[in-house]
Structure 1
Amino acid sequence: MPHDDELSLFMQEVADVRPLKRDHIAPQAGTLTPTEAQLARRQAASAGPQPQDMLSMEAIPLLDPHDIVGFKRDGVQEGVYKKLRLGKYELQASLDLHQKTLREARVALAQFISDCEQRDIRCLLILHGKGERSTPRATLKSHVSAWLPQLPAVMAMHSAERRHGGSGALYVLLRKSDRQKAENRERHQKRLG
């Protein structure tokens, strides 16, 4: 009877165990202060929707790894868009999304666009890769191409020139900040006056 043997062994092992007399633990005197991580979580929870929350994780049409992608908001001049398309603007910042999951890329992209907007950076390079070996193919490329037009700061985007990554990268043009608009008006008034 193996069951009886196990039970008798167990009873021998716990023979000297005694119940606790008091199982209530009194809190320590003084106030407990939250950790930095707890404070960060509280702030994030109370901050309301984050920029990445605007970016849909829903199924989107998948692109081919070699597709050329482009987008331009109303009001963006054709000359400006052409210059962006041809990679003639100075690239002021870049973000590499290779090896990131869709969720990581979504957060990184939204944060990057927000940071650039706050720093008055207008012309960006986003490296997403072609996705020839991903399953399904071009997943990250397809999502990044769908996400960028959802961000109000993005005025235009286009697949990069070969020297900057070709169809595995995007040039992105952000809207001008109020400060940049004021400087532009001032510059044009001086030229006219």
Structure 2
Amino acid sequence: MVKFLNLNDNSCVTMTTKDERLSFLEEMKDVKRIKKPNRAEVQAPKELTPGHLERQRSAVEKVVRDRNPLTADMVEPLKSHDVLSWQRPGVQHGVFRKLRLGQYPIEARLDLHRMTVEEARREVFSFIGDCVRYGLRSVIILHGKGERNPDGIAQLKSYVAKWLPELDSVLAFHSAQKHHGGTGAVYVMVRKSERDKQNNRERHGSR
């Protein structure tokens, strides 16, 4: 008795006679053994298509939207002793005078010393936004005088002078009094938030 392996289901076929064995071999003569494993071959394409390249480029070069409106370009250079002074139309003279003389309590301060221009740009934008959010009206920004610079240019001061009028929330600013940093700092008056305005209207309207 001879046993043969059935290639279809790996079971054994038993040959009981010589004729059956010869007949089986005749039928199986064209069958070849599978040399490779019975699994699909998945290979990455040798060349990336334009679509693949575009998707890669979009993922790598995706630009995060910059919501900071403050200019990053060159600005007019100011010197250490230049005085900063600016107010929006509608700001009362008496209010601006009190700001200039440092007579409003300083509710928050931002120190820009040792920052790069880009770092200061982000901090000033964020700081004024926080002041509006928390209802702070009178604050100070320390920008320095740049007295150690060989060219005498107060770089951060120059940018702050350009940035503050670009923010709608800023009503006025003026270089600080000497005891608060002099021309190396600036008082800033911040606009009331809509929430605070509404609270004032309700409070006055209730009287």
1:114 aligns with 2:129: yes
Asked whether 1:167 is paired with 2:169, we answer no
Q: Distance in 2 between matches of 1:83 and 1:184?
A: 22
Which residue type is aligned with residue 68 of structure 1? Answer: V
Residue 139 (structure 1) aligned to one of 141, 155, 174: 155
1:179 corresponds in structure 2 to 195
Q: 1:63, CA displacement in angstroms?
A: 1.0
Distance 1:135 1:114, change over 3 A: farther
* C-alpha distance in structure 1 between counterparts of 2:142 and 2:122, whole Å: 15
1:50 is aligned to 67
Q: Secondary structure at the match of 2:146?
A: coil
Residues 127-179 of structure 1: CA distance to partner in whole angstroms, max 9, x if unpaired? Answer: 00001112542011111111111011101000000111000000000111123
Q: Which residue of structure 1 lines up, in the alignment, with residue 173 of structure 2?
A: 157
Find the structure with the greater CA-based Rg.
2
Residue type of the partner of 2:96?
Y
With structure 1 as the length reference, what TM-score do the two structures score?
Answer: 0.70
What is the percentage of aligned positions where both structures have the same residue? 47
Gaps of 5+ in 1: 1-21, 26-41
1:63 aligned partner, one-letter code: L
* RMSD, aligned α-carbons: 2.3
CA–CA distance in 1 between the matches of 2:138 and 2:114? Answer: 23
Q: Which position in structure 1 is the counterpart of 2:107?
A: 92
Residue 138 of structure 2: which of 101, 104, 123 is its match? 123
Q: Tell me which of 90, 113, 117 is aligned to 1:102.
A: 117
Distance in 1 of aligned mates of 2:99 and 2:85: 10
Aligned amino acid, residue 172 of structure 2: A
For 1:124 and 1:114, the matched residues in 2 are separated by: 12
C-alpha displacement of 1:57: 1.8
* 1:65-98 alpha-carbon deviations (Å, 9 max, x no partner): 0011111001111111111000011111000000
Whole-Å Cα distance in 2 between the matches of residues 117 and 111 of structure 1? 10
Matching residue's letter, 2:187:
Y
SS of equivalent residue, structure 1 residue 170 = strand
Q: Distance in 1 between matches of 2:71 and 2:181?
A: 25
Q: Which has the higher contact order (CA 8 A, sep 6+)?
A: 1
